[in-house]
Structures are given as structure tokens and as C-alpha cells.
Amino acid sequence: MFTRIVKMEFKPENITTFLEDFELVKSKIRNFEGCLHLQLWRDKRNPNIFFTHSRWQEESNLEKYRHSDLFKGVWAKTKPLFEQKAAAWSVDVVEDIG
């Protein structure tokens, strides 16, 4: 299992569109094979910055999603809304002190 974090900064006038679009696809993303968890975060100091935080069973599941029609459709709608290029990280838990 690993975590994927994607940082997205939107033009202020596009935030409502992004949130409406996310509402329509969030369940489809969460229910994609191998997706174990999905959250949308918003930066406390810059309301134009959002993060998706997802956990995936295997890297192959994420890759399958990234090559799916679902992702291609989501990305085609989301990418033009950005102020800055998105950044993404795939990370493993080294230690959990929960």
C-alpha cells in the first residue's frame, strides 16, 4: 500500500468549477480498483491550493487508473483550470506513530 498526494493550484475563478466537477467523479475515483482511500484537502493559508490524498493497494492500480478513460476525462477538465502546474508524489509510510 502507498499514498499518492497531488497538489493543484487553481485560478480563483475556477475553484467552483473544480469543486462541482470533483463532486461528480469522487465516488468513481474512490471505487476504482485498488483505491482504498480518497480525500480532498484545501490549504489553510492559500484557498486556491488543493490536494488529493489517496491510498492505493499497488502501484499497478494507480497506473491503471492513470491510463483509464475516467482519469483522462477528469484530467482533461481539471488541467485547464490550473494557475500552476500540478505536482504529485507517491510515498510510503516509513513509520506510523498513531
Question: Which pLDDT belongs to residue 32?
Answer: 98
Q: pLDDT band for position 47 (50/70/90)?
A: very high
Give the pLDDT confidence of 19-28 residue by residue, as tens digits: 999 999 999 9
Domains delineated in the chain: 2-91 (3.30.70.100)
Res. 98: pLDDT tops 90? no
Q: pLDDT band for position 31 (50/70/90)?
A: very high
* DSSP string for residues in the chain: -EEEEEEEEB-GGGHHHHHHHHHHHHHHHHTSTTEEEEEEEE-SS-TTEEEEEEEES-HHHHHHHHTSHHHHHHHHHHGGGBSS--EEEEE--S----
